[in-house]
Amino acid sequence: MQKNRKRLPIDIVTVLLGSLTLTLLTTPKVQSQESPCSNFWVNPQTGKKECFNQNLSNSTNIRSNSQFHRTRRELNQYHQMGKIRVFYNTSGKHAIDPTDSNQNQVPDQVEDVAKQTWVAYQLFVDTLNFPDPLKTERYQQASWIDVNLVARNIIDHPNGVAYDELQDFKRPIDSLGTTTITFDVATSVDARTNITPAHELFHLIQYGVSYFKNRWYTEGMARWAEKALENGGVGETRYEPNGQWPQPESTRSELFERSYDAEFYLWNPLAKKDDPRGMIPSNAVNSKVKTMTYSNGEKVLKDFRLNGADLIREVLIELGKMDDVAYKELGYSSWSENNQKSQRNNAYIYQAIMDVARRRGHSVSSFTAN
């Protein structure tokens, strides 16, 4: 794990080694035009495995050179923890709170966002064995998980938003063709009292596995995931865990129109049903995760409680298979944004959930998407 605060000049990067100062030009390396393809990725527009093009300027699937990217490229400082990089400014429109209570040259707000994101990543990937987004077929070309601290009024959500496409920010510190997966966190967020960074990190885990983006699935499950770092193992339930599965058609219809509150009607009830005890084995948790604290001394990981982690992990993996089925049966020609969020996906997502619950030994009647 690395913890570094670095300034990013526009044209050069200055590295201090003791009393020696080295100036590193950020001129990109020349790529051979004749090199055989050694890297592959899944094109989100076709769902097919293709050669990864290092010359990203002509790609419509890896985003770069937009106002979106210019805004985030102008964040001229960053703090790194492992594969997590948090980019920020201390002045201007996107200025963060500069308070640095431990005087380690990293503002508390930045450090707290980085800590929460890192702990969530370690807990889900290393402890609970959720797919590592950086190692999935879709995102295997990504080198980093970048968190951008930006003014609240430039993002579409109150606290944060995760993006499902590979990004090429062309940051001065990165070599030519460096891609990342990323999410924004509003500069108004205080990670000590706000779980947004962990919530958005979990979205990247979801996006790495499946193209489905129906909100009752993505937002409802991400709300369940918040409990991994918070007190208690599961949130409120508004559907009886031992009730009818599949749920009645009227309940399903209402569920498919939900978003964040889908946790109460599906994910939390299933998590309780599958795993009433809801304990994370403490001996499986990284010691640094156990002891990590925010700038105010409070632990990032509040307890070792989380109901239904095995079930949810298996559902995610099943969705990675089910989206292939939906793609074929629904006649999609690409995973466009409209197709990723199409109401026609609902039955396929729900079937995957019921199939997993049944395989795990629960009494679940037959449910098929078609």
Give the per-residue pLDDT at 50: 47
Q: Write out residues in the chain with pLDDT < 70, as ranges.
A: 1-65
Give the per-residue pLDDT at 143: 98
Query: Are the CB atoms for 123 and 289 separated by under 8 Å?
Result: yes
> For residue 229, what are the β-bridge partners?
none
Give the per-residue pLDDT at 52: 38
Q: Read off the DSSP letter of residue 158.
A: S
Strands 142-150 and 179-186: parallel
How far is it, in rounded angstroms, from Cα 128 to Cα 258?
27
Query: Are the CB atoms for 300 and 123 separated by under 8 Å?
Result: no
For 21, the 3-state DSSP assignment is strand
Cα distances (angstroms) measured from residue 356 to each of 45, 313, 315, 345: 28, 10, 6, 17
